[in-house]
Amino acid sequence: MTLAAEGGLARELMMPWGVDIDLAEGAMAQPDRVLTRRASAMAGYYRDAAALDALIRAGDPVHYEVFEKTVPEAYGHLLLCVSKLYPGKVGDEYFFTKGHYHTVSGTAETYLCLRGQGLMLMKTASGLCEAAPMCRGRLVYVPPHWAHRSVNTGGEPLISLCVYPADAGHNYGDIESEGFPQRIVESQGKAVICT
């Protein structure tokens, strides 16, 4: 079934759907796709490469997972996923996600934190940077053109429900080469931002 031509393109008519999300646990029931990143996928990201190597040798634990519902990666759709970042440190640095810009740079994203404690690091190519607190019930709005990385500073998984335009795409390469100007480390039992 197709809708009337919209912007010159006939579109498939998708039927409405729903998904159950356990708000206390931060778990999505029956995701269509699960992205798993182990410690070994994070080579080059942490300052203490030896500490990361030791973690990999000790069993290469899962670093974070993304649970997704599948929608067409096309203009007009919204992609919905649950991001689960496990607690831990590499050296004195708290576990974080790779971080990315969106390939379609002018697209935003919302992160509604369901569980855990942490920070959302954000930066622009022009040199702006922000660190937004994340805790249960807090929504962080990542505006267009801001790269974003979650950092788990707590003792349990940091879980967020993320929504963004389905055609946004992920540009990991620029962060792989640039990194983020801020790092979150443990110092005297507390999470501190260092540059």
Number of residues that bind Fe ion (CB under 5 A): 1
Which residue has tokens 């660190």?
A: 131
Would you say 65 or 109 has its CB closer to Fe ion?
Answer: 109
| Side-chain half-sphere exposure of 173, counting CA atoms within 13 A | 3
Nearer to Fe ion, 3 or 128 (CB): 128
Q: To the nearest whole angstrom, how small is the minimum distance from the Cβ of residue 5 to Fe ion? A: 30
d(CA 85, CA 97): 7
Indicate the residue among 46 and 164 with the shorter CB distance to Fe ion: 164
Q: Report in angstroms how near the CB of residue 2 gets to Fe ion at its nearest.
A: 30
Three state DSSP letters for 42-97: HCCCCCCHHHHHHHHHCCCCEEEEEEECCCCCCCCCEEEEEEEECCCEECCEECEC
Question: Hey, what amino acid is at 61?
Answer: P
- Is 160 a binder of Fe ion (CB under 5 A)? no
Strand order in the sheet with 117-123: 129-135, 117-123, 147-152
Shortest distance, CB of residue 132 to Fe ion, whole angstroms? 14
Residue with the closest Cβ to Fe ion?
109
In contact, 121 and 174? CB cutoff 8 Å: no
> What would the x/- binding string for Fe ion be over residues 95 to 124, using CB under 5 A?
--------------x---------------
In angstroms, what is the minimal distance from the CB of 102 to Fe ion?
6
- Phi-psi region at 145: left, alpha or beta (left = phi > 0; alpha = psi -120 to 50): left
Q: How far is the CB of 72 from Fe ion (least distance, A)?
A: 18
Of 55 and 95, the one with the shorter C-beta distance to Fe ion is: 95
Question: Applying CB under 5 A, which residues contact Fe ion?
Answer: 109
